[in-house]
Amino acid sequence: MSKIGLHWFRYGLRLHDNPPLLKAIKTCSKVIPLYILDTDYFKPDKVGINRIGFLLDTLKALDSDLRAKGSRLFVAQGNPNEVIRNLIQEHKVELLSFERDTEPYNKHMDNNIIETAKSLNVETFPLWGHTMFDPEYLLEMSNGKAPLTMTSFLTLMSETGDPPKPLDPPESMPSPIDNLKCKDVFVYEGIPTLSDLKGFNFDPKDYTTWFVAGEKEAIKKMTEFLAQKHRVSTFEKPKTLPTALQPDTTALSPYITRGSLSSRLFYHSLKDTLKGMQSSKPPVSLKGQLYWREMAYLIGFSVPNFNQMEGNPICKQIPWLTGEEAKSLLEKWEMGQTGYPAVDAVMNQLRTEGWMHHLARHLVACYLTRGDLWVTWELGRDVFDKHLVDADWSINNFSWHWLSCSAFFHQYFRCYSPVAFFKKTDPNGNYIKKHVPILAKFPDKYIYEPWTAPKGIQTACGCIIGKDYPKPMVDHKFVSKENMDRMKKAYDAGKAKAKNSGEPPAKKLK
């Protein structure tokens, strides 16, 4: 066994439950562990500092875990197909292993790379690992069409049973090669820091998320959460608090998304925790949350043009604002300058911490689209994608469809109020006071509607509305009603078009 293998780390930035890595270790005497920073995927103007900083910290942690097992991580930058082709040729690689992916861009990349490897007579092991199940198997089980409702997804899950058990991490790693130098491939000396990144221009002091990256931290956080057995067994997502100052849910999404924590490990650890106990049930339970994730991935894997409205068979066609018209509205929303403190607090938390509670995401996504500003969900999705440390192509697109009533959820007459929604869980506005500090001195009575405070109070609080903090950019009570009418018209037009063309309207596939 004197083979040289190349293991290309994709999302699975971990040692546990990593099927393709284990395959390479079993078959090769030397394994080159590689991460490729693909700048066509991470476009410098589209990716924010918290998102990329968290990724780099994850790579640093992975490097340290690999070193503890006798190896290390190499980080290259460029087009993965070209990087891999060059490295295979330069280092006489005979085996290539990597985790397959479900996103269209990455699926296309996978196919190209498999072709490249074939043309160079290199054995390839592209295996699934980022989802609980092989998505091709799930699609086959559901006759080629992803279930579009949780009820039908749960039926599918009752047929599949539990996902496979997670694999243990390797005891040790084969040694890597000493040096990855290669003509035409840019390889970093070690793990790049934010200031090292080629083609990006970040100021490290803007890296402000509190999440600590890496597999060890992920497993520690999961273990600590699961140790709270009562909390776990009674977990019901809709009852958790969007305005809590510390996360009221597991806050494991950055680890699951960046691949530091395998969803199969989480599933089976959860199952072991709940053994013999009465517990809440999907879709609201913790297991249910993993099912939402799996369902979003399956839909993203199989629905054409899932990341856009046009040409997307399950997406309602709605005449949203786009282009220049949308730009200035979007900017105010992104920068927490809408004048509605609850919305601005969530957007400020997004930019500074890179994470918000699920229902907080609901509020701002509804506000941007069908609720208030009528801006296309695709632009909101991009802003989330830029800043979230858990930015996830499948879940993000899935959720924006949902909140904009473009698919999955169609009750557009139910709308989140930027004034009333958070009052239910946070009557004193502590969440707002934390994330919109300019309003911190406002009496509780005015915290959700500071523009209604008398001038004298505004002066005493050191914040004049319209000068130090914006007035509401729209009147929610008025525009939300107007937008419901627009939604109705768009839905009716969709139905009429489908009727005239004889085609089925955008609807549930199953």
Residue list, annotated binding site for FAD: 249-253, 390-392
Helix (H, G, I), strand (E, B), or coil: what is residue 31?
strand
Query: What is the nearest approach in angstroms of ligand FAD to the Cβ of residue 50?
Result: 13
**Comparison of 181 and 231: residue with beta carbon closer to ligand FAD:** 231
List Cβ neighbours of 205 (8 Å cut-off, separation of 6 or more): none
Burial class (CB in 10 A: 0-12, 13-18, 19+), 438: middle
Q: Using the minimum distance from each CB to ligand FAD, give the nearer residue, 22 or 261.
A: 261
Report the alpha-carbon distance of residue 55 to residue 276 in Å, rounded: 38
Shortest Å, Cβ 492 to ligand FAD: 26
Minimum CB separation of residue 300 from ligand FAD in Å reads 11
User: For 502, phi and psi rounded to 5 degrees?
Assistant: 75, 0
For ligand FAD, the closer CB: 292 or 340: 292
Residue reference for tokens 């399956």 = 298
Q: How far apart are CA 70 and CA 366, in angstroms?
A: 49
Question: For residue 380, what are the contacts with CB-CB under 8 A and spacing of at least 6?
Answer: 330, 333, 364, 365, 368, 369, 400, 404
Residue of 493, 56, 103, 472 lying closest to 305 (CA atoms): 103
Q: Which two tokens stand for residue 171?
A: 């005891």
- CB of residue 385 to ligand FAD, shortest distance in Å: 7
Q: What's the min distance (Å) between Cβ of 462 and ligand FAD?
A: 33
Binding residues, as ranges, are 249-253, 390-392
Q: Cβ 92 to ligand FAD, closest distance in Å?
A: 39
**Residue with smaller CB distance to ligand FAD, 81 or 399:** 399
Element (H, E) at 418: none
Q: Which is nearer to ligand FAD, 180 or 360 (CB)?
A: 360
Closest by CA to 375, choosing from 473, 461, 262, is: 473
How far is Cα 422 from Cα 432, in angstroms, rounded to an integer?
9
Task: Compute the least distance from the CB of residue 294 to ligand FAD, in Å.
Answer: 8
Q: Is the dihedral of CA 429, 433, 435, 439 positive or negative?
A: positive
Choice between 75 and 365, CB closer to ligand FAD: 365
Instruction: Between 15 and 241, name the residue whose CB sits nearer to ligand FAD.
Output: 241
Gap between the Cα atoms of 228 and 273, Å rounded: 9
Contacting positions for ligand FAD (CB under 6 A): 237, 247, 249-253, 256-257, 289-290, 292-293, 296, 357-358, 361-362, 365, 384, 388, 390-392, 395-396, 399-400, 403
18 vs 285 by CB, closer to ligand FAD: 285
> CA torsion angle for 66, 394, 392, 288 (degrees, to 10)?
-80
CB of 263 to ligand FAD, least distance (A): 7
Neighbouring-strand partners of residue 69: none
Cα–Cα distance for residue pair 18/130, rounded to 1 Å: 9
AA identity, residue 112:
N
